[in-house]
Amino acid sequence: MEMPNDAFWDSLLLLLVLLNPFLLSVYLMDLIQELEGHVFRGAMVQGSLIATLVFIMFAFAGDAIFDDVLQVRFASFLIFGGIVFLVVAIRYVMVGSEAIRSLRGAPEHVAGSIALPFMIGPGTVSASVMAGSRLPFLWAALAIIAAMTFAVISVLLLKWLHDSVRERYENYVSRYVDVVGRVTALIIGTIAVEMILKGVELWIEKFQSA
């Protein structure tokens, strides 16, 4: 089967942008700082497997999951997802990485909390649905797996880099992480508001066309 080049690379690039390893590393910084290497790797692998399976499911089923199975509008998913990210961003700006720790829950649920909401969100789900609509299922699944693999490997490399320099430059690393995390939270909060507005727009369009 011949690969549809443009659609494949466009889908892969979109997923890579949404699964930005630098943004992921900021929101996972408390785990990067506290967990040993092998524990963190295990949690990342488990979380990424959960997210990958969810993305592949959405690529296969498309909007039918919302319309036929869940009986909800995709706009509702965008609005709720935006609210979740907005709450996370506001708490991070005000409190710092401690806010993420309090939202994450019990340690035994780390893998699930990595997958949702930091990997599985309205943006990545939408990209998965789009990949499934533009590509044959196998190529859509390949794009999802490739993007997720790149994101996980990049985060693990950042974890290794953090552990390598932390002992020597611990004060500088802590300050850098705090500043970058709060700035990133401002960006994520802005994106969250945009997601909410997009969901409202879709809901209004659906209401007007009814």
Domain that holds residue 34: 5-209
For residue range 145-192, list pLDDT tens digits in order. Answer: 999 999 999 999 988 888 887 777 766 766 777 777 778 778 878 878
- Domain tally for the chain? 1
């997601």: which residue's tokens? 195
Nearest residue to 32 (alpha-carbon basis) of 145, 128, 201, 164: 164
Cis peptide bond prior to 117, omega within 30° of 0: yes
Mean pLDDT is lowest, of 55-59, 93-97, 194-198, 204-208, for 93-97
Contact 131, 60 (CB under 8 A): no
What's the pLDDT tens digit per position in 1-27? 555 667 888 889 888 877 878 778 777
Is the model more confident about 94 or about 141? Answer: 141
> What is the percent of the chain where pLDDT is above 90?
15
Across residues 97-114, what is the average pLDDT? Answer: 62
Tokens 């490739």 identify what position? 146
Q: Are 179 and 55 in contact (CB under 8 A)?
A: no
